[in-house]
Structure 1
Amino acid sequence: MALENHLHHFPSIESAALTANRLPMISPLMLGLGILMTPQVYAQTDPNRQIANDQIQRQQQQDAARQQALIPDPQVKIDTSSVAPTAVANQVDHNAPCFPIQQIGYTTLDSQALKDVHRFDFALAPTTHGKTRVLGKCLGVAQINQLVSDVQNRIIERGYATTRVVVGNQNLSTGKLTLTIIPGYIDSIQADTSQSKITISTSRAGLPTTFSTALPLQAGDILNIRDLETALENLKRVPTADADFSIVPSSENTAPGHSDILIEYTQNRKYRMGIGIDDSGAKATGKYQGNVTLSLDNPTNHNDLFYATYSHDLNSLGSSRENKHSDNYALGYVLPIKHWLLNATHSHYTYDQTVAGATQDYTYSGKSDTTNLGLSHLAHRDAKSKTYLNAGGFVKSQHNYIDDTEVDVQRRKIAGWTAGFSHDISFGTNQLKTQFSYQRGTGAFNAITPPESLFNEGTARTGIYKANANLSVPFKLGPPKALTQFSYHAALSGQYAEDALVPSERMAIGGRYTVRGFDGERTLSGDHGVLLRQDLSMALGSTPHAMYIGVDAGHVAMKHKTQDDLLLGHNLVGAAIGLKGQFSPITKLAMSYDVFTGYPISQPKGFGDKDWASGFSLNLEF
């Protein structure tokens, strides 16, 4: 067998393990002693292991980019002033008679609303406590109207757009000011699907089935615009669906504060197909990659999204494959349930390549599987921000082969959990998204203890702190009649490990997904790392095309100094210039593209031998 002919050229732990399988006279104890006596050989002289690590890190970056592209993240902001304009402040007349106010409270028009009065205590708090308190002061009619206006505005800002505050007839000489609050109740929720291009499944109540999991509100609730924003985001999460709403007077209850919600809901189709081509692969396993994607929109009629994608290197098509290829398939599913979001993904990746030995070439191949399950909960929402609590679990496995014989010691399986939170906030048209998480490996799902842990060179069962921040700033420049749209985007990410990590969990930099200007054939990776990507884009007139320039910088380091000293370097800086856009040559066909070239600004000596690193991607959806 060819395996024995070249194993002696790689004096690593993997070679020892395979040879042990062939030579029974070597006992497990002797093999174990040999392993413990040669940790640096394992760490430094295994080129096959480095090949596997590079492939896994590249695939993880591609998986993250694909998931971001295929799973929409709709953002809905409703201007409450357009739904219910706030009250206008009155001019204060200091010569008008006033009344000393010692107490301020609420009352309602009916006893049914009394149970909900406490919800609006927040609007009174500034008038009874703190620097703006008015208790003990003498208030005139204009000042009372101003107080009512302030209370009303606070209620509307909190999202209660149909709730009203008025002042009824009362005797203010008692020192008590009573405000009448009229909660804005939802009498009914109605749907208009007349403009939908496909038949919408309905429930027994006559509403679209999608409403049952999309709407965090129901008839009888107090209307809050924030709940409507969440509902619309859930309905719009399916790319082929759209939704809008209007608030109309109740058709059955003429009492003040009662309204109906009319939601216009449409869906154009139930599925989408996409094909694409790019040059994001590795030279050793096929640089040019083709992919096909099938997306099912709303397959269970609950605003869910399912996708299946398959990619294959184009280099090996129509050839004998020459032991150089890569395949990947990925599955994803997203289900929004009111204030919750379930997200599940699975990917499978295989590759093989020819590696030159001392006397003959051999085939080194591998396969990996990654499964993630996540659940997020919308914990807080206001007019400018949202906060989510996130939790999830993951399982990753990896197998490598030499001429179809598995290298047992390179087998990996890790599992663990993640927990954290994310916060999105808007500043006018600017948006900032931040995310913080903690990842911990465990022994779940028969996870394998990696050999690196024997030498304290890497473990999967330690804590990893991760953080991400994304800032988007659109702006316009130029003469008033010919303004040009610009956009600045910055993405900052980093991780810190409590202990040395196995290679698959390290942070890698260098390539189109991290630091542009490098082709990704070589990367720097470390237990700790930070990455900053920046883009400045300029729209080409009113077309959906834009030119952009980017500058990226990354830094990585190892937890232990002995490993850190072995790194070729710690920092990469690169720049890129490109053109991207989309167009529809015919109806129901959308094309998008991105073409760029990058230049390395700063790199360790001997890291790369290219002055420019270019790339492209072309995608069609129909």
Structure 2
Amino acid sequence: MEKVYVHFGLSASIFSLIYLAKSPLTVKAQPAPDELPNQETIQQTIPSNPQTIPENNPASKKKKPTISVPGGLDSAQCELSVNQSDRNYADRFFIRDIKVIGNTVLQSEIKKIVKDSQLKYRTATFEDLVCLRSRITQLYLDKGYVTSGAFLANNQDLTKGIVTIQVVEGELEDIVITGLGHLRQSYLRSRLELAAQKPLNKNDLETGLQLLVINPLFETVDAELTAGQKTGSNVLLIKVKQARSFSAGIGVDNYRAPSIGEVQGSVNLAHNNLLGFGDRLSAEYGVTEGLDIYNASYTIPWNAYDGTLGLSYNRSDSGIIEARFREIDIESETETYGVSLRQPLTRSPNQEFILGLGLDLRRRRTFLDDEPYSFSVGVEDGKSNATVLRFSQDWVKRDAKSVLAARSQFNLGIDAFDATNNSTGTDGQFLIWQGQFQWVEQLSPRVLFIARVGGQFTADSLLSLEKFSLGGVSAVRGYEENQLVTDSGVLGTLELRIPVTKNPNTLQLNPFVEFGTGWNNDEPNPEKSTIASVGLGMDWVITKGLVFNADYGLPLVDVNNEGNSLQENGFHVSLRYQPF
């Protein structure tokens, strides 16, 4: 019995995780300057793992895992004796037709092999026929069908001149899974069955196993392919070790707007396999002097192709704490209910393309001395609602030294579910296009180059719920959060990641240059509509689970900030601890 062995481990996978941008390119929806700061961010960042670089990265010493068949099948090289002048008629017979049966793939290639053999309407030896079936078997092997092969059908009367070659295409007889904990077998089995459809192909199975390796649900995956009960059948033995499902963390940073208190404490919890379906539940709470923010989301796979259904809820309650506004008690309440579908159309360890469709119900209330009050155009009695359809397209491609990631998203505000509708030209009906692009290049085994660009474009005047924000840790460092808030805008970043310790992930220095510009459609543009900065960041893994980040940006455009907060002096810092 032949066996095929393959071992995959998270630490020995085809991906070497390279620590890149701690803050992915984000386009934020923020309020107009004369309204309350909104601390929400629309779910439109570049996918969370475009920063994975394939295993053949020189920084990694491990080899890409492959499946091999010890000894192979009988497909020895041979020569067809088609020279009619050199023959022994006693050993030969005349061939009128050659039939190949049992094959469901490679039809055109097999026809070509038969044609090129030049055996039809000639005399041939039995060795010639063995050679022909060996060439067909070799074709299957070359195409990755390592458990398929061809043989001469039994009980043939070759004197009639009709030759039948039988192809047996490999298939899985069974999948035996061990090592699963809380995760249901159906989750793993359905994905393996996709990768091992008949005829069984080594390359497809290898790709399917590699996708399991990079799945955060698994720590290690071991596979053994053995012969089944009948010819061409196989049994796939899978042994897995599940990764830790539960995670929790706490943190402190100054990533919020100074007007509501820039220093934020936060706690987050997540479970990647809550009910055993590979479903994920996450929750986060953040608090500043003037802000309470709650985020919760639940995502469940709905097919074996990694399509997911997501539900989300976000709420923020904020109040202005700046001395000049504190006495008049300006407050805001914002809620977002979301549902989304995401479906990969193509997915491999090195490339994926995903379509997404979502619906958000967004609600905001603003108050002055506990009474509803409208601070900007389009808001009615302190209320602004938006019902938004979002259609997104995500693409990621990775190779040995680079990662390319792009996202396009169309946001359509519709007149439904009590969306704001008025005659001011600023309401809940709008069309927005958002685009994002990220390029990561490994300049040397230890130095990475990162380029990011993103933007929002619309012909409409927008409610503050959907505006574009510039300034802050994720959108031009060196300026305070929400420095510029406009209908449309563009931002970009160029950055290097330079390790300064032997372990490249322990301590990194990150010089950067960033810029952003924004504009309005109906309202006047900001006095300073373009901002830019140069600066230096630092990422320090103090110990396992404890990470300190600091960025200093030197503003190149003076915006005359009056405050003296860390942000307004160009600093963004965070300390996060995730024990598990």
TM-score range, shorter chain: 0.7 to 0.9
C-alpha displacement of 1:329: 0.9
Matched, 1:281 2:262: no
Root-mean-square deviation (CA), in Å? 4.6
Cα contact 1:212–1:302 (8 A) shared by 2: no
SS in 2 for 1:369: strand
Give the whole-Å Cα distance in 1 for the aligned partners of 2:509 and 2:312. Answer: 33
In the TM superposition, 1:352-431 aligns within 5 A as 352-354=319-321, 361-382=327-348, 384-407=350-373, 408-431=380-403
Write the deviation string for residues 499-528 of structure 1: whole angstroms up to 9, x where unpaired: 33223222222221111222225224233x
Alpha-carbon distance between aligned partners in 2 of 1:422 and 1:309, rounded to the nearest angstrom:
25
What is the count of residue pairs matched by the alignment? Answer: 504
1:344 to 2:311 alignment: yes
* Mapped partners of 2:327, 2:134: distance in 1: 88
The 2-side partners of 1:177 and 1:76 are apart by 48
Taking a change above 3 Å as real, the CA distance of residues 592 and 150 of structure 1, as seen in their structure-2 partners, is farther
For residues 490 and 177 of structure 1, the distance between their equivalents in structure 2, rounded to whole angstroms, comes to: 62
CA drift at 1:413: 1.0
Residue number in structure 2 paired with 1:436: 408
Question: Judging changes above 3 Å, is the alpha-carbon distance between structure 1 residues 299 and 49 closer, same or farther for their aligned structure 2 residues?
Answer: same
Residues 1:548 and 2:478 are matched in the alignment: no
SS, match of residue 389 in structure 1: strand
Shift of 1:596: 1.4
- Any idea what SS the aligned residue of 1:52 has? coil
- State the Cα deviation string for residues 179-226 of structure 1 (Å, max 9, x = none): 865433222222231xx8xxx2476xxxx4653676564987554655
Q: Give the aligned partner of residue 191 of structure 1.
A: 177
Q: Say which is worse superposed, 329-338 or 397-406, in terms of deviation.
A: 329-338
Whole-angstrom distance in 1 between the partners of 2:247 and 2:368 = 40
Structure 1 segment 34-73 matched on structure 2, within 5 A: 50-52=33-35, 55-56=37-38, 58-60=39-41
1:462-481 mapped onto 2 (5 Å cutoff): 462-476=430-444
* Partner residue, 2:570: 613
Give the whole-Å Cα distance in 2 for the aligned partners of 1:600 and 1:139.
77
Instruction: Verify: 1:574 aligned to 2:533, yes or no.
Output: yes
Distance in 2 between residues matched to 1:296 and 1:212, nearest whole Å: 22
SS in 1 for 2:35: helix
Q: Any residues of structure 2 matched to 1:233-252 within 5 Å, and which?
A: 233=211, 237-238=215-216, 241-250=218-227, 252=228
Distance 1:596 1:83 in 2: 49
Do the aligned residues in 1 keep the contact of 2:539 with 2:547 (CA within 8 Å)? Answer: yes
Which deviations, in whole Å up to 9, do the C-alpha atoms of 1:23-56 show, x marking residues without a partner?
Answer: xxxxxxxxxxxxxxxxxxxxxxxxx963535x12
Q: Which residue, out of 224, 241, 245, partners 1:265?
A: 241
The alpha carbon displacement at 1:93 in A equals 10
Q: Note the C-alpha offset of 1:167.
A: 7.7
C-alpha distance in structure 2 between counterparts of 1:380 and 1:517, whole Å: 39
1:187–1:259 Cα contact (<8 Å) kept: yes
CA distance in 2, matches of 1:366, 1:106: 75
In the other structure, the counterpart of 1:592 is: 547
- Give me the whole-angstrom Cα distance separating, in 2, the residues matched to 1:184 and 1:438: 45
Structure 2 vs 1, CA of residues 91 and 209 (structure 1 numbering), >3 Å: closer, same or farther? closer
The within-5 A match list for 1:192-211 is 192-193=178-179, 200-201=181-182, 208=185, 210-211=187-188
Partner-residue secondary structure (3-state), 2:465: helix
Counterpart of 1:455 in structure 2 is: 424
* Alpha-carbon distance, 1:399 to partner: 0.5
Matched residue SS, 1:409: coil
For residue 485 of structure 1, the aligned residue among 437, 440, 446 is 446
Query: Are the structure 2 counterparts of residues 168 and 506 from structure 1 closer, same or farther at C-alpha, using a change threshold of 3 Å?
Result: farther
Match 1:255 to one of 231, 242, 251: 231
- Does residue 494 (structure 1) correspond to residue 455 (structure 2)? The answer is yes
**Structure 1 equivalent of residue 8 of structure 2:** none
**Offset of 1:164 from its aligned partner?**
3.7
C-alpha separation in 1, matches of 2:44 and 2:439:
19
Instruction: Give the SS at the match of 1:287.
Output: coil
**In structure 2, do the counterparts of structure 1 residues 435 and 182 end up closer, same or farther at CA, with 3 Å as the change threshold?**
farther
Could you say which residue in structure 1 is the equivalent of 2:11?
none
Partner of 2:300: 335
Mapped contact 2:364–2:383 kept (Cα < 8 A): yes
| Residue identity in the other structure for 1:532 | G
For 1:548 and 1:381, the matched residues in 2 are separated by: 32
| Mapped partners of 1:283, 1:423: distance in 2 | 36
Note if contact 2:437-2:453 (Cα within 8 Å) is conserved in structure 1: yes
Whether 2:494 is the aligned partner of 1:534: answer yes
Tell whether the 8 Å contact from 1:105 to 1:178 is kept in structure 2 after alignment: yes
1:284-324 CA-partner distances (Å, limit 9, x unpaired)? 211110011122231201111211111111xx4xxxxxxxx
Residue 29 of structure 1: aligned partner: none
SS in 1 for 2:461: coil
Aligned residues with identical type, % of pairs? 14
TM-score computed with the length of structure 1 as normaliser:
0.68
Question: 2:196, 2:205 within 8 Å by CA — same for their partners in 1?
Answer: no
Distance 1:522 1:444, change over 3 A: same
| CA drift at 1:486 | 1.7
Richer in helix (by share): 1
Aligned 8 A contact 2:494 2:512 in 1: yes
CA contact (8 A) 1:397 1:414 kept: yes
Q: CA deviation at 1:595?
A: 1.1
Letter in 2 for 1:470: Q
C-alpha distance in structure 2 between counterparts of 1:178 and 1:427, whole Å:
45
Whether the aligned pair in 1 keeps the contact of 2:541 and 2:548 (CA below 8 Å) is: yes
Match of 1:455, as an amino acid? T
Change beyond 3 A, Cα 1:144–1:238: closer
Structure 1 segment 206-217 matched on structure 2, within 5 A = 208=185, 210-211=187-188, 217=194
Match of 1:30 in 2: none
CA distance in 2: counterparts of 1:467 and 1:519, whole angstroms:
23
Distance 1:347 1:255, change over 3 A: same
| Corresponding letter in the other structure for 2:538 | L
Q: List per-residue Cα deviations over 1:468-510 (Å, max 9, x = no partner).
A: 222222342xxxxxxx512222222223224332232222222
One-letter amino acid of the counterpart of residue 397, structure 1: R
Q: What is the identity, as a one-letter code, of the residue corresponding to 2:369?
A: D
Say whether the 8 Å CA contact 1:294–1:307 is kept in structure 2.
yes
Which sections of structure 2, spanning at least 5 residues, go unmatched?
A: 1-30, 56-62, 85-96, 120-127, 374-379
Question: Which is worse superposed, 565-574 or 500-509?
Answer: 565-574
Cα displacement (A) at 1:327: 0.6
CA change 1:605–1:621 in 2 (3 A) is: closer
Q: Deviations over 1:87-112 (max 9, x none)?
A: 9x9999999969xxxx999633xxxx
1:528-578 Cα shifts (integer Å, max 9, x gaps): x332223211222225222212222223233x3x53x53324433222311
Give the distance between the partners of 1:94 and 1:417, measured in 2 at CA: 65
Q: CA deviation at 1:348?
A: 0.6
Answer yes or no: is the 8 Å Cα contact 2:512–2:536 preserved in 1: yes
Distance 1:286 1:104 in 2: 82
| AA matched with 1:289 | Q
- CA 383–310 in structure 1, closer or farther in 2 if over 3 Å, else same: closer
For 2:363, the aligned partner's letter is S
